[in-house]
Amino acid sequence: MTFRVAIIGGGPAGIYAADLLTKSEADVSVDLLERLPVPYGLVRYGVAPDHPRIKEIVKALQRVLGHPDVRFLGNVEFGVDVKIEDLREFYDAVVVATGAMADRPLGVPGEDLPGSFGAADFVSWYDAHPDVPRTWPLEARHVAVVGAGNVALDVARVLAKTADEMLATDIPANVYDGLRAKQATDVHVFARRGPAYVKFSPLELRELAHSPNVDVVVHPEGFEVDGASMEHIAKNKQAKMVLDTLANWVGREPTGKPHRIHLHFLEQPVSILGSDGVTGLRTERTRLVGDGSVAGTGELTDWDVQAVYRAVGYRSTALPGLPFDHAAAVVPNAGGRVLDLDGVAIPGTYVTGWIKRGPVGLIGHTKSDAAETVAHLVAETSHTATAREPEAVDRYLAERGVEVATFAHWERLDQHEIALGAAQDRPRIKVVDRDEMLQQGRALPHGHPTAV
Ligand X SMILES: Cc1cc2nc3c(=O)[nH]c(=O)nc-3n(C[C@H](O)[C@H](O)[C@H](O)COP(=O)(O)OP(=O)(O)OC[C@H]3O[C@@H](n4cnc5c(N)ncnc54)[C@H](O)[C@@H]3O)c2cc1C
Report the residue from 154, 170, 284, 414 that binds ligand NAP according to the rule CB under 6 A. Answer: 154
Among the listed residues 281, 282, 284, 283, the one whose alpha carbon sits nearest the alpha carbon of residue 306: 281
194 binds, among ligand X, ligand NAP, none (CB under 5 to 8 A by kind): none
Residues in contact with ligand X, total (CB under 6 A)? Answer: 35
**Which residues in 258-277 contact ligand NAP (CB under 6 A)?**
269
How far separated are the first and last CA of the chain, in Å rounded?
A: 36
**Residue 32 to residue 217: CA distance in whole angstroms:** 45
Answer for the pair 8, 95: CB distance below 8 angstroms, yes or no. Answer: yes
User: How many angstroms separate the Cα of 437 from the Cα of each of 129, 134, 321?
Assistant: 11, 15, 30
**Residue 180 to residue 152: CA distance in whole angstroms:** 21
Answer for the pair 25, 378: CB distance below 8 angstroms, yes or no. Answer: yes
Please, what's the b/e burial string for 252-280 (b: 16 or more CB within 10 A of its CB; e: otherwise)? eeeeeeebbbbbbbbbbbebbbbeeebbb
Residue nearest to ligand X (CB): 11
Q: Does 361 bind ligand X (CB under 6 A)?
A: yes
281 binds, among ligand NAP, ligand X, none (CB under 5 to 8 A by kind): none
Answer for the pair 127, 49: CB distance below 8 angstroms, yes or no. Answer: yes
Among the listed residues 353, 308, 363, 303, the one whose alpha carbon sits nearest the alpha carbon of residue 330: 353
146 binds, among ligand NAP, ligand X, none (CB under 5 to 8 A by kind): ligand NAP
Q: Does 34 bind ligand NAP (CB under 6 A)?
A: no
Can you tell me whether residue 28 is helix, strand or coil?
Answer: strand
Site string for ligand NAP, 73-112 (x = CB under 6 A): ---------------------------------x------
Q: Does 150 bind ligand NAP (CB under 6 A)?
A: yes
Among the listed residues 275, 269, 276, the one whose alpha carbon sits nearest the alpha carbon of residue 308: 269
How far apart are CB 348 and ligand NAP at their closest, in Å? 30
Q: Does 13 bind ligand NAP (CB under 6 A)?
A: no
**Which residues in 389-448 contact ligand X (CB under 6 A)?**
none
Q: Does 52 bind ligand NAP (CB under 6 A)?
A: no
Part of the chain binding ligand X (CB under 6 A), chosen from 71-79, 261-269, 375-383, 433-441: 71-79
Residues at the contact surface with ligand NAP, assessed by CB under 6 A: 106, 146-152, 154, 191-193, 197-199, 201, 204, 269, 311-314, 359-362
Residues at the contact surface with ligand X, assessed by CB under 6 A: 8-14, 33-36, 41-43, 46-47, 51, 54, 77-79, 97-100, 123, 151, 154, 314, 353-354, 361-363, 366
